[in-house]
A and B are shown apart, each in its own frame.
Chain A
Amino acid sequence: MAIRPDIRTAEAATDSARRGRRLWLWQIIRESRQAKVGLIVLVFFVLVALLAPWIEPHSVNEQTGPVYCEPSVHHLLGCDDGGVDMLSLLIQGGRISLIVGFTATLVAMIIGGGVGILAGYFGGWVDTVLMRVTDYFLVIPDLPLAIIIAAVWGASLSHLILVIAILLWTTTARIVRAQVKSVRERVYVKRSRSLGAGNARIIFRHVMPQIAPLLVANTVLTVAVAIFDETALSFLGLGDPSTHSWGQIIEFAFLRTAITAGAWWAIIPAGICVALVIMACYWLGQAIEDSLNPRLKVSYLSPRTFRVRPLVGRGPSAL
């Protein structure tokens, strides 16, 4: 018996609760003001970092003004203790901070995602072993690790990235594992398996697309943490001495008595930049996460919050 091809009626709004909308990332971002702001801020900083060589007013390698000169038309954010233009330093610093942040996150995602998928999908002893390894890494204290690596192998950008990635992948692994475990139990995955699909096909075609949105949210949030970690570690002197990330800018300013000199422009702008980027990542990541998790929405039945409309002479009543 043929079904009448009435697709429109199949979309009867009354059924939407059962089905759930298919949420594209763009849709989520479009619908959430929080996400939009976060994305715009993030894109702004990324663009500045990319275009650094072309937009920085002065070179960061030469002294272009007096030591700790105040903000002026010539130097919009003043100069540091070496007479280098602060704004240019900030722009260059953004490059480093963002590079470290994104790269460390990428490495953490690859490791954490891989571990999470394997542990969540295969379960059993694979899960147990991988989770014990994760626990081991989870308890490593971040600061001593960074200090040791810097002391033994020297402080460089790649070592910094490595340290941060080591610290971050475990959270991702756990989140991914939990998601994969739940997706694995979905009926359509079981159906694929009963059709004879192999593990690779199920993981790549069914599991990963399903966890991708949450993974994106998690990635964005991890970037925030990575940048924060980088700033903190750099501030403590563990950054690459040949670079000047925002954390290092603050570090230098501290070490070189900017405060006593009253040179607020040497510290505060860098701090604000870090805060803005982290906040932007949080807004974007949280917005994505919230819209993907319907259970975070407040429950439906509540006493007497609906409106009453007065009835204007309707038809006859039944019974």
Chain B
Amino acid sequence: MSLLEVRDLHVWFDLPDGGELHAVQNVGFSLDAGERLGLVGESGCGKTTAILTIMGLLPSSATVAGDVRIAGESVLAEGEESVRSHRWNDVAMVFQGAMNALNPVKTVEQQIIEPMEFHEVAEGEEARYEARRLLEMVGIPRQAGGRYPHEFSGGMRQRAALAMALACNPKVLLADEPTTALDVMVQAQILELLVGLSDELGLALVLVTHDLPVVAQVCDRAAVMYAGEIVETGLVDDLFHDPRHPYTRLLFAATPDLYGDEEVVSIPGAPPRLDREILGCPFQPRCDRAFDRCIRERPVLRHVHADRLAACHLNDLAAGNSDVHRTRATK
């Protein structure tokens, strides 16, 4: 039984003019203790919405379908009570821009104690002790706990946000763009911290980011999202060296590498609108390998290997030979 299991997740948002935005489409993944999964995609692909759903933090304009199980217990279908017992206790989140969302009128220590007391994990002196221990674990000196967020640098504030997320000893940590606004050196520190926590505490980590190299460094597996759905998943190593979806391949190709000499390319066009049904493959208008089946039929996420899934018609060609993704297709 996995620690976190997401299956057939759909999220729709009501639009002011009456329509619906299908922000998350049939998303599923699972996570075991100590595993680090990267959820990769660009703005608007639905990755943040997907993990907010796991936390049960969507607005009233949202409709959800699917199954989210935390430690075997389904949390979506039942009411707020069932989600609440898991929220922060079993699964916690570091939000995007969390370091700028700390309460400016409370000390860092107080903000770590707050969830502990709310979830009745600890209180009083015990909570204070725990809070200081957590601060030390994330690399903030114990005494600094009595300071206010504005007295910290960006990297320190991010560590504080991390400590807050770990306040109730969750088993799963969802991190949404945790290092995006940080300098590369501080980013390295935070990533090292996350990997360390995942190894030492057996914390399962979902790292949501648009930054492929970060995922390559930190995560074992990754799921690539596009237009609300997962288009490919697998080991990060396989995604880079043997991609089975053109978007994965092109996304890597669009990322400059420090030493590589290959040309860095853009992907022309823009993602499709999610407020109307998409006919055929959502990536087809921008794909450099699309053929006529791609226009008619929407590909389904299927196994191409054990532990490898991709949603692309190319995988049906040439009996699973992955060269079709590399050699120039004759259109």
Contact = CB atoms under 8 A, between A and B. Distances in A.
Interface stretch (A194-202, A229-237, A304-312): A304-312
Q: Tell me the dominant secondary structure on chain A's binding face.
A: loop
B159 to A, nearest CB: 22
Contacts of A307: 60, 62-64
Contacts of B207: none
Interface stretch (B192-200, B243-251, B267-275, B313-321): B267-275
A309 B7 CA distance: 14
A293 interface: no
Interface residues of A, number: 32
Given A12-B44, A13-B21, A317-B28, A306 B269 contact: no
A262 interface: no
A302 to B, nearest CB: 7
B214 interface: no
Contacts, number: 116
Q: Indicate the size class of the contact surface on chain B.
A: 35 or more
Given A12-B44, A315-B301, A319-B30, A301 B273 contact: no
B80 A318 contact: no
A165 B64 CA distance: 55
A11 to B, nearest CB: 7
B62 A318 contact: no
A311 B8 contact: yes
A310 B15 contact: no
Contact of A10 (B28, B80, B270): B270
B121 interface: no
A317 B300 CA distance: 10
A9 B269 contact: yes
A6 B67 contact: no
B260 interface: no
A316 B300 contact: yes
A305 B273 contact: no
A11 B17 CA distance: 15
A308 B309 contact: no
A278 to B, nearest CB: 31
A306 B62 contact: yes
Contacts of A11: 273
Interface stretch (B50-58, B150-158, B174-182): B50-58
A1 B266 CA distance: 9
A15 interface: yes
A317 B274 contact: no
A8 B271 CA distance: 10
13 contacts: A4-B269, A12-B271, A12-B274, A15-B44, A301-B57, A302-B60, A304-B79, A304-B80, A306-B61, A308-B65, A311-B8, A316-B300, A316-B301
Interface of B: 7-8, 10, 12, 15, 21, 23, 26-30, 43-44, 52, 56-67, 76-77, 79-80, 83-84, 87, 223, 230, 233, 266, 268-275, 285, 300-302, 307, 309
Given A6-B270, A304-B83, A319-B28, 5 more contacts: A12-B44, A14-B274, A305-B60, A318-B27, A318-B28
